[in-house]
Structure 1
Amino acid sequence: MRQIVLDTETTGIETRDGHRLIEIGAVEMINRRLTGNTYHQFINPEREIEAEAISIHGITNERVANEPVFAEIADAFWDFIRGAELVIHNAPFDVGFIDHETNRLNGARQGAPLGPVKEHCGVLDTLVMARRMHPGQRNSLDALCKRYDIDNGHRVLHGALLDAEILADVYLAMTGGQTALSLDAGDDAGSKTSEAPGEFSVRRLALEPGQLRVSRLSDAELAAHHGKLDGLRAKAGTCVWDALPERLYGTGRSNEA
């Protein structure tokens, strides 16, 4: 499955007020692995950026004055996202701006029209997902980073590519954690390996003896566990759990069953 984690920055909040895209950042994942392929582009919006927006993302009119306009980058951008599932935090905002730019372009474009997004891509909104998972709590990207212990200390201002990279980490944490590990072969406790593209590394923890808590099953939990296995044996005639070495699960299973 190909997914594109995407974020944008804009001149202001509302497309109906004529606001435009000024930055697009996106990272590619295939089967939940970051591939290292990214898309990043600043865009000349052909209008002034609101001061309030600049205070959020730090992108000034001077910064984008010599960047290409959307019409010049549209085909390359669509080639990157077409057919993928887009993973976006507060998707209606970003999708609305992409569709707004595309509709403006299609009016003067020769050849096949581009967009709209939902006709060419799936869309997964991580804000909607977070609200279902954590009702009544703050679910901004910063709040989710704190909740899932994801380092975003380098995020002083918003930036499309940086936010897309952070959102990719948040999304993987929200949906089951990382899927690729690069084990540290070094000797330094607490060090982090250099990461190959699309991989996460394992951070070693320097724990003193007795710091790592081990939880064991209570008698009631152990009895419930054996009852469940007995039910599986009665229904299927066998239970694959019986083939596991007892040291792997430590439940004290006897070999009588």
Structure 2
Amino acid sequence: MRFRFLPALLLAAVLLTLGCASLLSRPDRSDPEALLLLERVAGHNRRLETFKGLGDISLATAATGPAAFRLAWMCSIPDRMRFELMAFSGNPFLSLATDGDRAYWLPHAENSTFHTFRQKHLNLKKLIGIPITTDEILLLLAGRVPIRPHDAVELVTGEAGRRELRLKNGWRGEVQRIRFSAKEALLPDEIIMFTDFGRQVSYRIVLEEIQPVNGFAVPHRMIFTADTGDTASLKIRRYWTNVTIDDAIFVLTDKAAAEK
């Protein structure tokens, strides 16, 4: 009796194998124009290696309500950054850093806890309500576009006749859209990130007022909107390019523990 189902099991195994093989060997569906445009986007501001800046960040989240801070940053591409979040009075609120190996989280409120993690980047959802990571923020501050892993890209005409790159990654489906307001635009004006299975928007980024800085082009304002409705807006006030940065700046220590 147990051998009655053997042919059916063999057939199922063959079909499953063929199905997996078709997924693994899926031909590249990217058209040449889309690849050229994506390559141009990915190569933007490549000569910018280190930078620092000052700006204002406004938050509106369901968890904390509206809030506003000053933000200072020092960054070294590809994965080292230091963020200082301050009240408008100048009092420090939070220090956040990554050194390419570890991430550091140091709140400055009384009785707060210092955290360090062995990872290159952090998800900032708990801090700003947007599920964006520190490495994606670094690229955006550098006037570059974070590009998710993909195996195909197509160029289509989207909303209001805007050109739109759509990135797809195998069985996950669509992972990202990159929209342009004008054909000659140096940077896109909107980036849409999808959830893991491409079924809904995870968050959107709107880039406003692209400004020239020492031969580079960076956004003057960035607006982030999560699928939950939480929003964050960053306005860049000052920006310095290819500055000298001591690597020690990207490592935070527990000051409370050091004082004991």
TM tier relative to shorter chain: under 0.3
Larger strand fraction of residues: 2
Larger Rg: 1
The structure where helix makes up a greater share of residues is 1
Normalising by the residue count of structure 1, what TM-score does the alignment of the two structures yield?
A: 0.22
TM-score by length of 2: 0.22
